[in-house]
Chain A
Amino acid sequence: MATADVDTAQTNGNGKYKVIGTRPIRHDGVDKVTGRALYGADVKLSGMLHAAMLRSPHAHANIKSIDTSKAEALPGVRAVVTNADLPEVGDRIAELGEGAVNLRHLSCNVLAGPKVLYKGHAIAAVAAENIHIAKEAVGLIDVEYELLPPVLDVREAMEDSAPILNDDVRTDTMGELGNTPTNIAAHFRYEKGDIEKGFAEAKVVVEREFDTATVHQGYIEPHNATALWNKDGHITVWTSTQGTFSVRQQVAELVNVPLSKVKVIPMEIGGGFGGKISVYLQPVAALLSKKSGQAVKLIMDRSAVFEATGPTPGSYIRVKMGVDAGGKITAAEAYLAYEAGGYPGSPINPGCMCIFACYDVPNGKIDGFDVCVNKPRTNAYRAPGATNAAFAAETVIDEICDELGICPVEFRLNNASKEGTRRVDGVEYPVIGMADTVEAIKSSAHWQSNLEGPNRGRGVASGFWFNCGLKSAATATVNADGSVSLIEGSTDIGGSRASLAMQLAETLGIAAEDVNPAVVDTDSVGYTDVTGGSRVTFATGIAAYEAGMDIRRQMIARAAEIWDVDADQVRYEDGTIIGPESSYTFKELAELVIKTGDPVTGRGASSAANQGGAFGTHCVDVEVDPDLGKVKILRYTIAQDCGTAIHPSYVEGQMQGGAVQGIGWALNEEYFYGDDGSMHNASYLDYRIPTCYDVPMIETIIVEVPDPEHPFGVRGVGEVPIVPPPAAIANAINNAIGVQMTELPMSPPRVVHEILKKNS
């Protein structure tokens, strides 16, 4: 049984830690499994109105006029808003934690300005006494459109003849702006060494082209917002989000009020994966509330989530790699074009930085393009940009290994990035665990096993993703019963309440159960950046640790006061405060705290720390139906460097969840568009995320190469597991049936197409 080792330390701290590495029940667990947890849709306020959105039926059009008079006249309607109700915000850039955004574009995305740029683009919203009236009123809004031809393919959008989406977009080439309107919003270039010389040294050079489809995060909970714009000018927003402070900033900027006038209250969040950072509904609900004088609730339906929130881009990628007779990479070149959607901002830059990040590439050149197309504006999705890139690079590597007769695992060991390796984009690595993850796969039961049977194959692939630091704050209060309340601002999408409480418990030498973590609103905790970039357990973890250290200092001082000794004669060890003659347990002293002086509250923050980054290597066995092209995942193993696993179950859960999303991306998920630019599969029936029948239990190997930047050695674990799956599965398919897939998803029709091509 899996429960046998539940309480054993899993970390290579090997007895160093008491709490870290154990698997306590998460603090928010009971509420979630009993259905008591309150999500965005559960908000109910007295007098609350319900709102509905009018969305564009066209993928590309000028809005000639909007007539809302009939909707406003419908009994029960209390407010109607359009882009005209949003203040002019100008051309400023706002940092959102996992990407930046031009506020004018954000504003026009929230409620379409002069143009609609994708089907589903929000145009107007109606608040009414109930949702049925609101929906009926939406149908009464008249919009006059001037239809424009849509452009949906990234390479077509780059052509001079393509319809231009935004007349204010100029190509930004490493800081220099072009002077004509274009769909190419940015061009990144990174170079290292001498690429010509590198290819000349190679024994084998392989060059391939790849296409990947637009895919969505597929969180279960739709976007939601309830807002109350009070008569005193204060706005309260209840919403499920990955970043309350980011929502506060975006709302304040978009409706043009000072930051301090906006309070954001986080509701439990039913998945985000990067997609719940940007605002969609929050400013609209606020404007409707201002107009109506009542709280207004606005919730998306599933098709709006697909059509109008931020998926991750479809892409075109070309990779050329040269390897010498000894199996060493001599040169690597890549061209990446990512679809930004309606407005600029695809994760092209991280895509460029990640594409060769796992390997020591002596000579490299990478070009990346951010390209507007008539699809929803893309947003972060777990390791944004890296999965597309890895699909290309890691399958080219496999082909080279085949040609040179090198084992793909040995190739990866031989070329792995390590401390001191400089990436093509210039960054030099600190201590990292890339090679360790490959070693872990090499010695795994999975890799050691024989795979037998027709149409079966095995593939491996590695992946990299950054971990960012950014800013976090936390406070912790000592209660008289020896428990500690932890107040933090990182909304919990992956078990972070537990992992933060455990770090505080470890710092204080108390039990995880004696810490009560709470994620609170923006008025109640210090500034905290988004839950994204694999940063919370790392950076908010440091804040929790610092808050704990602050408590320790105060507890030492208090004990010294009580004993009437110097503070430097008192030490804090393993949850005990030890003086020259006597000692207190944490609990004993906690009881005395209020009786003897000020309450003890610790504060902690972090901002400076930079994480080293996370690597993972995946191994997968597949069986391909050679007649129908269906790929069955037989076995799947992940080895990932997690630095130090605070709560191993949640680390494993992140690895498994990321891999399953990657499997969906690999095999079936895609936005399927008609020529008119409308998405045909905006529902979970035809946007096919894997079900529990489609994946085996994902095996996990936690590799621990502690990150020296963190007191316990934490690395971010949430994102990198989505990076290798499509590449690993493509390699396995090739190994099974000798067909190299270069397009995602590798759906049955595509696989059959390649099989028929090969057989004819």
Chain B
Amino acid sequence: MRDFEYEAPTALADAVELLAGANGSAKLLAGGTDLIDHVRTGRLEPDLLIDIKKLAELNVLEASDSGLRLGAAVPCYQIYGNEQITSNYSALADSCQIIGGVQIQSRASVGGNLCNSGPAADSTPSLIALGAVCVIAGPNGTREVAAEDFCTAPRQNVLEAGELLVELKFPAPGGKSGSHYRRFIPRNEMDIAVVGVGAAVTLDDSGENFVSARIALGAVGPTPIFAQAAGDALAGQPANDDSIAAAAAAAREVATPIDDMRGTVEFRNHATAVLTERVLKTAIARARGEADGYTIGH
């Protein structure tokens, strides 16, 4: 492993300045659970690591009537340990509960998961399904980008030189809402998603019909995929097996998977539809306040 410098600024402006001044040879360090491994194996060779865990803005965790604010460096265990998140943004809690084990969850952040921009990142489909907006700070000020527009290619995203992700803003769920994320892995632990699906649904007062739905897919394309048409088509439909099967088929249509050591194209296409059905059913059960029957890893 190559030597590198380490800085831990306490003001956001200092972090931006350090980053912008390093001409691409600096890397931001949140939990480090992706970054340190990349440095260890030589895939990345930064001269400077900027620890962002000491920045107040990146540690915000605030749920109110107007929505959820989640600092980019907040570790997973704090997220699934927050009752407002487990009840109103359950898909996000589902994601955070399956990223690594306890040790990883004590460090790993959702911001790091998103900025690492892997196609199989477990929290990104939930961010997209829950309609999260990324707040980005840089030398030219602050801008906002929808979660579904953040990743651009495997390990690439919209961040420009000198920019960092500050927080994620989630709209407050309205009416009867429920969300869920699950992934398929061959074992029951210790795997990267072969397919991941996140969905958020809002039902009408009767709980029988969709008002709206958002579906997002992981590990079946170069970036996480927003299956917008599949979700949009559910608006106004009855929440039953037919509409769910149609949404699953539509989600499968937008998947563009590859063959690799984790799965085949055939399997991933098929599993996209299967998981979409299962995820929608769980999200609906949650919206209705019914038992969801979900156990981690299955």
Is A693 touching B270 in the complex (CB atoms < 8 A)?
A: no
B57 to chain A minimum Cβ distance, whole angstroms, is: 33
- 0/1 interface trace, chain B 177-197, chain A, CB 8 Å (1 if under): 000000010111111101000
Query: Would you call A711 an interface residue if the criterion is a C-beta within 8 Å of the partner chain's C-beta atoms?
Result: no
- 1/0 per residue, CB under 8 A from B, across A614-654: the answer is 00000000000001111000000000000000000000000
A14 to B271, CA, bound (A): 55
A694 touches B261 (CB 8 A): no
Which residues of A733-749 have CB atoms within 8 Å of chain B's CB atoms? Answer: 747-749
Contact with A along B230-271 (1 / 0, CB 8 A): 000000000000000000000000000000111110110011
Complex Cα–Cα for A694 and B1 (A): 34
- Tell whether B44 is near chain A: CB-to-CB under 8 Å: no
Residue B274 at the chain A interface, CB threshold 8 Å = yes
* Chain B hits for A685, CB < 8 A: 190-192
B102 to chain A, nearest CB (A): 14
Known: A628-B274, A756-B270. A693 touches B187 (CB 8 A): yes
Inter-chain CA distance A693–B192, complex, in Å, is 16
Q: Which residue of B lies closest to A303 (CB)?
A: B41
Query: How many Å lie between the Cα of A667 and that of B187 in the bound state?
Result: 9
Q: Which of B184, B189, B190, B297 contacts A748 (CB 8 A)?
A: B184
For residue B270, which residues in chain A have a CB less than 8 angstroms away from its CB? Answer: 627, 752, 756
A-B contact pairs, 11 of them (CB 8 A): A627-B271, A684-B190, A686-B192, A691-B187, A691-B190, A693-B188, A748-B186, A748-B194, A748-B263, A748-B267, A748-B271
Whether A753 lies near B264 (C-beta < 8 A) is yes
User: Complex: how many Å from CA A667 to CA B267?
Assistant: 16
Interface string of B285-298 (1 = CB under 8 A from A): 00000000000010
- Per-residue B-contact encoding for A658-689, CB less than 8 Å = 1, 0 else: 00000000011000100000001100111010
Q: How far is the CB of A577 from chain B (nearest CB, A)?
A: 57
Q: Roughly how many angstroms separate A684 CA and B191 CA in the complex, as a whole number?
A: 9
> Which residue of B has the minimal Cβ distance to A690?
B187
**B residues less than 8 Å from A672 (CB atoms):** 260-261
Give the residue of B1, B184, B188, B267 whose beta carbon is less than 8 angstroms from that of A691.
B188
Chain A residues 248-293 with CB under 8 Å of chain B are none
A629 and B190 in contact, given A680-B260, A748-B184 (Cβ under 8 angstroms)? no
Q: Tell me whether A756 and B266 are in contact in the complex, defined as CB-CB below 8 angstroms, given that A132-B1, A681-B261, A686-B261 are known contacts.
A: yes
Given pairs A627-B274, A756-B266, 11 additional interface contacts (CB within 8 A): A628-B274, A629-B267, A668-B186, A672-B261, A686-B262, A688-B190, A693-B297, A694-B187, A748-B184, A748-B186, A752-B266
Residue ID in chain B nearest A301 by CB atoms: B41
Complex Cα gap A690–B187 (Å): 7
Interchain Cβ contacts within 8 Å, total number: 61
Chain B hits for A132, CB < 8 A = 1
Q: Please, what's the 1-or-0 string for A680-708, where 1 marks a CB less than 8 Å from any CB in chain B?
A: 11001110101101100000000000000
CA distance A748 to B298 in the complex (A): 13
One of B184, B189, B264, B267 near A693 (C-beta < 8 A)? B189
Given contacts A685-B191, A691-B188, A694-B188, contact A749 B261 (CB under 8 A): no
Chain B nearest Cβ from A207, distance in angstroms: 27
Q: How far is the CB of A300 from chain B (nearest CB, A)?
A: 15
Interface secondary structure of A, over-half rule: loop
Give every chain B residue within 8 A of A747 (Cβ-Cβ).
186
B contact set with A: CB distance below 8 Å: 1, 184, 186-192, 194, 260-264, 266-267, 270-271, 274, 297
Q: Which of chain B's residues has its CB closest to A625's CB?
A: B298
Q: What residue of chain B has the Cβ atom nearest to residue A691's Cβ?
A: B189
Q: What's the least CB distance linking B218 to chain A, in Å? A: 16
Judging by beta carbons under 8 Å apart, are A749 and B267 in contact?
yes
With both beta carbons as reference points, the residue of chain B lying nearest to A749 in the complex is identified as B267
* Alpha-carbon separation in the docked complex, A693 to B190 (Å): 10
For A680, what are the chain B residues with a Cβ–Cβ distance below 8 Å? 260-261
CA distance A152 to B261 in the complex (A): 16
Instruction: Decide yes or no: A688 and B266 within 8 Å by CB, A627-B274, A680-B261 being known contacts.
Output: no
B184 touches A628 (CB 8 A): yes
CB distance from A682 to the nearest CB of B (A): 10
Chain A residues with CB below 8 A from B191, complex form = 685, 688
User: How many angstroms between the C-alpha atoms of A667 and B186 in the bound complex?
Assistant: 9
On chain A, the residues within 8 Å of B184 by CB distance are: 628, 630, 748
Which A residues from 582 to 636 make CB contacts under 8 A with B? 627-630
Contact partners of A752 in chain B: CB under 8 A: 266-267, 270-271
Rounded to whole angstroms, the CA-CA distance of A464 and B188 in the bound complex is 31
Smallest CB gap from B259: residue in A:
A749
Q: Which of B189, B190, B263, B274 contacts A749 (CB 8 A)?
A: B263
Complex Cα spacing A37 to B211, Å: 63
Q: In the bound complex, how far is the Cα of B190 from the Cα of A132, in angstroms? A: 29
Which residues of the partner chain A approach B262 to less than 8 Å between Cβ atoms?
A: 686
Residues of A with C-beta under 8 A to B192: 685-686
Encoded as 1 (CB less than 8 Å from any B CB) or 0, chain A from 313 to 335 comes to 00000000000000000000000
Please name the residue on chain B nearest to A684 by beta carbon.
Answer: B190
The minimal Cβ–Cβ distance linking A456 to chain B, given in whole angstroms, is 15
- B261 near A668 with CB under 8 A, answer no
Which residues of B lie under 8 Å from residue A630 when comparing CB positions?
A: 184, 186
Report the minimum CB–CB distance from A707 to chain B (whole Å): 38
Q: Which residues of B contact A749 (CB under 8 A)?
A: 263-264, 266-267
Residues of A within 8 A of B274 (CB): 627-628
B53 to chain A, nearest CB (A): 25
User: Complex formed: what's the CA distance from A752 to B194 in Å?
Assistant: 14
State how many angstroms separate the Cβ of A211 from the closest Cβ of chain B: 16
For B195, the closest partner residue in chain A by CB is A628
Q: How far is the CA of A672 from the CA of B262 in the complex (A)?
A: 9
What residue of chain A has the Cβ atom nearest to residue B261's Cβ? A672
- Give CA–CA (A683, B192) in the complex, Å: 13
Distance A748 CA – B185 CA, assembled complex (angstroms): 9
Determine the distance from Cα of A752 to Cα of B195 in the docked complex, in whole angstroms.
14
Kindly list chain A residues whose C-beta atoms are within 8 Å of the C-beta of B188: 691, 693-694
Please, how many angstroms separate the alpha-carbon atoms of A590 and B1 in the complex?
58
Q: Which of A26-84 contact B (CB under 8 A)?
A: none
- For A673, the closest partner residue in chain B by CB is B261
A693–B260 alpha-carbon span in the complex (Å): 24
Chain B residues within an 8 Å CB radius of A681:
261
A688 touches B263 (CB 8 A): no
Q: Kindly state the separation between the CA atoms of A694 and B187 in the bound complex, as whole angstroms.
A: 6
Measured between alpha carbons, how far is A145 from B266 in the docked complex, in Å?
A: 37
Whose C-beta in chain A lies nearest to the C-beta of B1? A132
Q: Which residues of B contact A688 (CB under 8 A)?
A: 186-187, 190-191
B139 to chain A, nearest CB (A): 35
Contacts of A629 in B (CB 8 A): 267
Tell which of A628, A684, A693 touches B271, judged by Cβ atoms closer than 8 Å: A628
Residues of A within 8 A of B194 (CB): 748
Tell me the nearest residue of chain A to B194, going by C-beta.
Answer: A748
Interchain CA distance A628-B276 in the complex, whole Å: 12
For residue B297, which residue of chain A has the nearest CB? A693
How distant is the Cα of A688 from the Cα of B194 in the complex, in angstroms? 13
Residues of A within 8 Å of B190, CB to CB, are: 684-685, 688, 691
Across-interface contacts of A693 in B (CB, < 8 A): 187-189, 297
Cα separation A630 to B187 with both chains bound (whole Å): 8
Which B residues lie within 8 Å of A627 (CB)?
Answer: 270-271, 274
Q: B267, A753: Cβ atoms under 8 Å? A: yes
